[in-house]
Amino acid sequence: MAETANLWDSSDPDNPSSRQEALTINTPSLHSGAATAETAISAVSESGPRGALRRFMEEHFFHFNSRELIASARAYERHIDGGGRMMVTLAGAMSTARLGKILARMIRAGKVHAVCCTGANLEEDLFLLLSGKEYESCGSYQDLNPAQEAELLERGMNRVADVCIPEGAMRTLERSLVKRWIAADGAGRSRFPYEYLYDVLRSGELAEAYQMDPAESWLAAAAELDLPIYTPGWEDSTTGNFFTALRMRGEVGGHGAVRTGTEQMEHLAGWYEANADGGPGVGFFQIGGGIAGDFPICVVPMLTQDLGRAGTPLWGYFCQISDAVTSYGGYSGAVPNEKITWGKLSPDTPRYMIQSDATIVAPLIFGYVLGD
């Protein structure tokens, strides 16, 4: 009788039987102002062992999307443990979906080193911090009729699927930003969108208005560690609209107070080159698609093909969570292999694509990496 081949090689790091002991995870303490990475990461490692989520995934996730999920989580962990850096990109309405609660832990644990997101995700984390208790749930939003939608508008409730953001949160932030933009314009200074929000957070001027715990804010965590945040297409956001209105009212002399998208690409190129050498380099964890993903991943072919810096390392890890269909031809549904043809990934880059709901999948991957 022939022997049955073992489906899993015991030496395979993605073998569900090759379990690691549970890691440690924290309940992060709040930091005021910009803390050092050493301070924040030290606070992360002080709590006791966990591991129930991780054990559950290793015992039940074997094939299809679940296999891709756990394989990507293990590869993420290996990348960080090997000294690599990680960029996380956010499309959709992930901040409003409260993904920031676990993303903040990832940042404070030193497992995220840069973020690229839409302008909406940048601002909506702060909207939530300011007015989270005033948000309204619309569990039966599919059944709302036009008159009910108009009623939400009249009450200043801006709906995103099953949750409504109160207009008041936006106006509170607007007042803080407007005075900073006017001051920067008068002094001839120019800053990135995230730098203005960091300044608001670090000043503490809105702290008394917080309705949510800053420990659950990914933007607050990023400010503590001074992570770079890139927001291509920032003008397609509420705060971008605020700035445009400010200019049209003549309260600033031009658009120069906010740095442009090409300036963001140049800054990203410098950050990438400073972090890509040695070890496994820089990884790319993409939630959704669109400009939040395509803008930053293009920094590599820009450096290698347009600047002629042929020795630039390619991205060292890639994972995308998407619900887009590949056959439609859109970037959001493009499989990772396609990126090899554009000089973004190499044939040896660990790469994963999980076609599912990011609000379910991302917390599972992050929880696994954190050792929950």
In a domain, 362, yes or no: yes
Domain with 99 in it: 63-131+167-370
In a domain, 10, yes or no: no
In a domain, 151, yes or no: no
Spatial contact of 134 and 211, defined as CB atoms under 8 Å apart: yes
* pLDDT tops 60 at residue 211: yes
Domain with residue 280: its CATH number is 3.40.910.10
In a domain, 301, yes or no: yes
* DSSP track, 63-100: SHHHHHHHHHHHHHHHHHHTT-EEEEEE-TTTTTTTTH
Cβ within 8 Å of residue 85, ≥6 positions away: 113, 114, 275, 276, 281, 282, 283
Q: Tens of pLDDT along 252-265?
A: 999 999 999 999 99
- What residues pair up with 338 in beta bridges, in sequence order? none
In a domain, 8, yes or no: no
| Token reading at 166 | 């109160």
What does pLDDT average to over the chain?
Answer: 87
In the block, tokens 């044939």 appear at 347
User: Hey, CA dihedral for 346, 362, 215, 173, is it positive or negative?
Assistant: positive
Dihedral of the CA atoms 339, 342, 343, 349 (nearest 10)? 10
* pLDDT tops 50 at residue 38: no
What is the mean predicted confidence (pLDDT) over 108-133? Answer: 97
Q: Residue 354, SS3?
A: strand
| pLDDT class of 14 with cuts at 50, 70, 90 | low
As for how many domains the chain has, the answer is 1
In a domain, 52, yes or no: no
| pLDDT class of 331 with cuts at 50, 70, 90 | low
In a domain, 14, yes or no: no
In a domain, 41, yes or no: no
pTM of the entire structure?
Answer: 0.86
Spatial contact of 333 and 12, defined as CB atoms under 8 Å apart: no
